[in-house]
Structure 1
Amino acid sequence: MLWANITRADPDIPRNSFSSKLANTYRIPATDLDALLDGQAAETDQAERFDLVARA
């Protein structure tokens, strides 16, 4: 059984599940995806952030 907080409307939600550095719910190996997920979390420009999320 898996419980996750995926109900908020925030593009950071995928980072919690898909980053190899965090919960890594799906046991994904470290890839360039980590850089995209970390980048969107640190980005302050909303348009750039959504671009990084779309690329991820």
Structure 2
Amino acid sequence: MRAMNNLAHWTGYTKTDILNRALQIYEFVQQVVENGGSLQIRQSESAELERLTIF
């Protein structure tokens, strides 16, 4: 709930919008992984690229 409340505050989206967007992102991530791909993230411009792992 804390994460949803934070996202609602930061983005101005409704909780329903946040859940819908989260499900779309999760579906995309799952599709990438199912097809043998991986996702990478950089937490700042100067940070190293890291493989994103979803548990």
What TM-score, normalized by structure 2, do the two folds share?
Answer: 0.29
Larger Rg: 2
Which of 1 and 2 has higher RCO (CA within 8 Å, sep 6+)? Answer: 1
Q: Which has the higher helix share?
A: 2
What TM-score, normalized by structure 1, do the two folds share?
Answer: 0.29
Q: Which has the higher strand share?
A: 2
